[in-house]
Amino acid sequence: MQEFLDMSFAGNGLLAWLQAAVWIVGAVVMMKIILPLIIRRISTWAASTSTRWDDALVQGLRAVRWYLVAVVALLPASNELVLRASSERWLSGMATVAFFLQLGLCANAFISGWITTVRQDSLQKDPSTTSALSILSFIGRVVAWAILLLLLLDNLGFDVNALVAGLGIGGIAIGLALQNILGDLFASLSIVLDKPFQVGDFIVIDDFSGSVENIGLKTTRLRSLSGEVLVFSNGDLTKSRLRNYKLMKERRIPFTFGLTFDATPDQLEQVPDAIKKVVDAQKQARFDRAHFTGIGGSSLDFEVVYWMLTPDYTAYRDVQQAINLGLMREFAALGVDFAFPTHTLMLGKQSPIVVALAQASGVPEAGTAL
């Protein structure tokens, strides 16, 4: 037995070769037997949590390849042997490349898994986020692979400082050339992540309004009330002040009207109660207040405020119409009338000649109200 162990191959004893093989076989066994158990345990734990990071971690662990781990195990295995410098350098290089390749596969699977779960969560709420999340996944994977490539080259002995400087200058040039496109792209990601609006929301931007139909990588499309499509760049949207009516839970409605001057104080005192009665009759409205606010040039002015319990614009218009008709009926019952602009012209005392000329031409006499 001792003679068998003392046998030498390529300048190394059989025992040294066996110790080197243990590293490789042990790594493969761990990947084939132990890693699936770990993944199964983490998957069970991840299923009971609401966070998505543990699900992405499971996807990353499932990207481990046993043959890459076996190549990585060549590095500690080579330490058990006496090898030539060139052979040792080649084995070290292979192990380094395999290590960073495996790390890149795990990072790629982790990012893809996280984006996939986020996409599934938001797909039902906002289908347009699919394209933006896809580009976010692509950018994340490119950045991860670029960092790993630089680390790999650095570990292999290459000078990456000049490469990083060149990439930096090239990136600045590309960024200046594509700054508008890149600005809209990152604005799209900002809209998707921050969610100031989603597909189906009714928004108002300056003098334009419409329902959001699509949120793209560069532009967002709105369908206006008159039917045409409004196209905005995502960069302009993130810089604009917009109003999102979809997020509105209730709608505050103020309106005013005037009554004629022949209304008595007792009638005016009954007007707020009549208004409250009409508003309370609408199931989708909540009365707030009604006041006799002042005496105008040709009317007795009232101000009314009520709340719509739904943000739907069509429902608001239906309720307002019902309130207007109800007010007309209630005011007719009270004996008051809506005011309209009127002017009274009083002619003062004129000379007899002016009076005679006025009578001859059919103009009312002086002092007569028009």
Give 342-355 pLDDT, tens digit per residue. 766 666 555 555 45
Report whether 94 contacts 73 (CB < 8 A). Answer: no
Q: What is the pLDDT of residue 40?
A: 85
Query: What domains lie within the chain, and their CATH numbers?
Result: 2-182 (no CATH), 194-244 (2.30.30.60), 251-334 (3.30.70.100), 343-370 (no CATH)
Name, in order, each residue with C-beta under 8 angstroms of 45's C-beta and a sequence gap of 6 or more.
54
CA 6 to centroid of chain Cα atoms: 70
Give 66-105 pLDDT, tens digit per residue. 888 888 887 777 777 666 777 778 888 888 888 889 888 8
CA distances for 192 relative to 112, 133, 195, angstroms = 17, 8, 5
Report whether 298 contacts 339 (CB < 8 A). Answer: yes
3-state DSSP of 200-252: CCEEEECCEEEEEEEECCCEEEEECCCCCEEEEEHHHHHHCCEEECCCCCCEE
Q: What is the pLDDT of residue 176?
A: 55
Cα separation of 144 and 103, whole Å?
A: 10
Name, in order, each residue with C-beta under 8 angstroms of 107's C-beta and a sequence gap of 6 or more.
60, 141, 144, 145, 148
Count the neighbouring beta carbons within 10 Å of the beta carbon of residue 311. Answer: 15
Total residues belonging to the chain: 370
Cα separation of 359 and 320, whole Å?
A: 50
Q: What is the pLDDT of residue 258?
A: 94
The residues facing 208 across adjacent strands are 205
| φ, ψ of residue 318 in degrees (nearest 5) | -65, -45
Q: What is the pLDDT of residue 274?
A: 94
Report whether 346 contacts 367 (CB < 8 A). Answer: yes
Report whether 309 contacts 250 (CB < 8 A). Answer: yes
Handedness of CA 329, 331, 332, 334 (dihedral sign): positive
Count the neighbouring beta carbons within 10 Å of the beta carbon of residue 128. Answer: 21
Q: Which string of DSSP letters, residue by residue, matches 36-102?
A: HHHHHHHHHHHHT-S-SHHHHHHHHHHT--HHHHHHHTHHHHHTTS---HHHHHHHHHHHHHHHHHH
Q: Which residue has the tokens 């960069």?
A: 235
- Residue 206 CA neighbour count, 13 Å, CB half: 7
Please identify every stretch of the chain with a pLDDT value under 70, giving residue numbers as ranges: 1-16, 81-83, 118-135, 160, 162-183, 343-370
| φ, ψ of residue 212 in degrees (nearest 5) | -70, 125
